[in-house]
């Protein structure tokens, strides 16, 4: 059986910065309130002519270069996004594949909101272990600025734009194998985070436009409480299943939704500051891109080395949640 190895990480951080002070000018808020409640100081915003595939393609390019593989070696592209370039088709993964000049290749999107990248890891792992594919490019790419209602003071300051990408490859070495990925969902909580209009339930209409129903609506406080509970329980199950303690994990990389969530979950699980990767202050919440952008940040800081054990933990709209446990296994 082939094992699935996590070979490389890359990201694209849009240069345009929107600070909390910029939000003070457009909604009734303060830098102090946002910082205290979320840990966010600033977030990145894509250019007007940039869509998720543009950000994703740049992150993908970097992940491929760092993997040491040739483009021709990639035999599957998966993009996790809930801000696709187009509502229905083509998929953002198809566009990324063509923008980075891959030869014809299987490509599709996964939709699991902020858990999307962890879902993509699980799909890549399954394709490789089944022997169907050898080198999978996974991308998390989001332009939340395109679905934010900049008059909604409870939600608009949280999210930002960006992309991250990784290569997952077949290996014969069990020590390199992704140990486990556990993903789940509960659609009974669909109302907590939702874009209510523009899909088949409420197709685009004047009402959808007037009420900004294609923008994200979030019940922040309820989501917050569920996030802390679910993320903590999810990691506990994963660690117990593999007989691990927090000391066995080099890098805990949680979804970057809120610094208070990261801290509560980290404290409950006993991860210290050194182990926990935090980028929420710089990038805000970039949904499916948040975990790979955070991993890339730690990698570029020189903190992630070959063989280090990494734990992803994500939570988002759906509701969806998931965790992934793996060693970093670069080829070079």
Which residue, among 1, 13, 7, has the nearest Cα to 297 in the 3D structure? 13
Strands (E), 124-234: 135-143, 161-171, 180-185, 193-194, 217-218
Binding residues among 33-92 for ligand UT7 as defined by CB under 6 A: 33, 37-38
* Annotation says 114 is catalytic: yes
231 vs 310, beta carbon nearer ligand UT7: 231
Single out the residue of 205, 200, 212 nearest to residue 147, CA to CA.
212
Examine the residue annotation and report whether 202 is marked as an active-site residue of this protein: no
Q: Which of 135, 279, 285, 296 binds ligand UT7 (CB under 6 A)?
A: 285
Tell which one of 4, 76, 110, 227 touches ligand UT7 (CB under 6 A). Answer: 227
Contact between 316 and ligand UT7 (CB under 6 A)? yes
Please select the residue that binds ligand UT7; options are 17, 22, 24, 29, rule is CB under 6 A. 29
Query: What's the token pair of residue 52?
Result: 């998720």
Specify the residue, 99 or 194, whose C-beta has the smaller distance to ligand UT7.
Answer: 194
Q: Report yes or no: 292 and 117 within 8 Å, Cβ to Cβ.
A: yes
Point out which span in 118-126, 219-227, 276-284, 297-305 binds ligand UT7 (CB under 6 A).
Answer: 219-227
DSSP state of 103: P
- From the CB of 326, what's the least distance to ligand UT7, in Å? 22
- Give 57 or 158: the residue with its C-beta nearer to ligand UT7: 158
The 144-163 site mask, x for binding ligand UT7 (CB under 6 A), equals ---------xx--xx-----
Residues 173/3, Cβ–Cβ less than 8 Å: yes
What is the SS3 assignment for 123-147? HHHHHHHCCCCCEEEEEEEEEHHHC
**Which residue lies nearest ligand UT7, judged by its C-beta?**
220
Q: Which candidate in 183, 250, 255, 296 is catalytic?
A: 255
Which parts of the chain are beta strand (E)?
3-12, 17-19, 42-44, 76-80, 106-110, 135-143, 161-171, 180-185, 193-194, 217-218, 251-254, 309-316, 320-327
Under the criterion CB under 6 A, does residue 185 sit at the interface with ligand UT7? no
Which stretch in 31-39, 123-131, 198-206, 276-284 sits in contact with ligand UT7 by CB under 6 A?
A: 31-39
Nearer to ligand UT7, 114 or 137 (CB): 114
Q: With H, G, I as helix, E, B as strand and everything else as coil, classify residue 107.
A: strand
Among 221, 274, 302, 332, binds ligand UT7 (CB under 6 A): 221
- Looking only at the bridges linking them, the beta strands covering 42-44 and 76-80 are unpaired
- Count of residues that bind ligand UT7 according to CB under 6 A: 22
Cβ neighbours for 102, distance < 8 A, ≥ 6 positions apart: 71, 72, 74, 77
Taking a C-beta distance cutoff of 8 angstroms, is the pair 278, 259 a contact?
Answer: yes
Residue (12 or 157) nearer to ligand UT7, CB? 157
Peptide bond into 319 cis (omega under 30): yes
Q: What distance in Å separates the CA atoms of residue 184 and residue 202, rounded to the nearest whole number? A: 26
Q: How far is the CB of 158 from ligand UT7 (least distance, A)?
A: 6
223 binds ligand UT7 (CB under 6 A): yes
- Catalytic site residue 255? yes
Options 27-35, 132-140, 207-215, 300-308: segment touching ligand UT7 (CB under 6 A)? 27-35
Which residues are identified as catalytic? 114, 255, 285
Binding positions for ligand UT7, rule: CB under 6 A = 27, 29, 33, 37-38, 114, 153-154, 157-158, 193, 220-221, 223-224, 227, 257-258, 261, 285, 315-316
């Amino acid at each position: 059986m082939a094992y699935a190895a996590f070979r490389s990480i890359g990201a694209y951080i849009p240069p345009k910065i929107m600070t909390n002070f910029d939000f003070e000018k457009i909604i009734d808020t303060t830098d102090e309130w946002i910082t205290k409640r979320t840990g966010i100081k600033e977030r990145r915003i894509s250019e007007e002519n940039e869509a998720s595939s543009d950000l994703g393609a740049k992150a993908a390019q970097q992940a491929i270069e760092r993997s040491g593989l040739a483009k021709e070696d990639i035999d599957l592209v998966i993009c996790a996004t809930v801000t696709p370039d187009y509502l229905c088709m083509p998929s953002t993964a198809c566009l990324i594949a063509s923008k980075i000049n891959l030869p014809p290749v299987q490509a599709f999107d996964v939709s699991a909101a902020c858990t999307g990248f962890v879902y993509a890891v699980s799909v890549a792992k399954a394709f490789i272990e089944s022997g169907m594919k050898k080198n999978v490019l996974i991308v998390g790419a989001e332009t939340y600025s395109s679905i934010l209602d900049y008059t909604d003071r409870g939600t608009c300051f949280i999210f930002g734009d960006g992309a991250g990408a990784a290569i997952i490859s077949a290996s014969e070495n069990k020590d390199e194998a992704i140990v486990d990925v556990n993903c789940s969902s509960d659609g009974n909580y669909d109302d907590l985070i939702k874009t209510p209009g523009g899909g088949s339930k409420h197709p685009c209409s004047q009402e959808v436009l007037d009420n900004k129903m294609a923008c994200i609506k979030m019940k922040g406080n309820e989501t917050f409480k569920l996030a802390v509970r679910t993320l903590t329980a999810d990691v506990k199950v994963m660690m117990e299943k593999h007989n691990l303690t927090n000391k066995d994990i080099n890098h805990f990389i949680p979804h970057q939704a809120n610094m208070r969530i990261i801290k509560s979950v980290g404290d409950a699980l006993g991860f210290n500051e050194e182990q926990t990767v935090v980028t929420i202050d710089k990038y805000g919440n970039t949904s499916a891109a948040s975990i790979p952008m955070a991993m890339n940040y730690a990698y570029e800081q020189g903190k992630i080395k070959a063989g280090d054990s990494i734990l992803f933990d994500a939570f988002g709209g759906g509701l969806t949640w998931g965790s992934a446990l793996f060693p970093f296994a670069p080829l070079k």
